[in-house]
Structure 1
Amino acid sequence: MEITGIISALFIGIAIGGLGRLVVPGRQHISLLMTMLVGMAAALVGTFAASLIGVADTAGIDWIELALQVGLAGAGVTALSRRPKVRH
Structure 2
Amino acid sequence: MIGTILSALLVGLIIGALARLLMPGNQNIGVLMTIVLGVAGSFLGSWLTYQFGYTNSNGGFEVIPFVVGVIIAIGLISAYLAISGRRVRQ
Q: Structure 2 length normalisation: TM-score?
A: 0.83
Give the superposition deviation at 1:79: 1.5
| Aligned position for 2:87 | 83
| Aligned position for 1:36 | 35
- Quote the Cα distance in structure 2 between the aligned partners of 1:56 and 1:10: 23
- Quote the Cα distance in structure 1 between the aligned partners of 2:32 and 2:13: 9
Give the superposition deviation at 1:23: 1.4
Question: 4+ residue runs of structure 1 moved beyond 3 angstroms?
Answer: none
**Per-residue CA distance 1:29-76 (angstroms, 9 max, x = gap):** 111000000000011000000101122424243332122100001111
Aligned residues: 83
Q: Structure 1 length normalisation: TM-score?
A: 0.84
**Per-residue CA distance 1:5-46 (angstroms, 9 max, x = gap):** 111111011001011111111010111000000000011000
| Aligned position for 2:17 | 18
Structure ID, larger Rg: 1
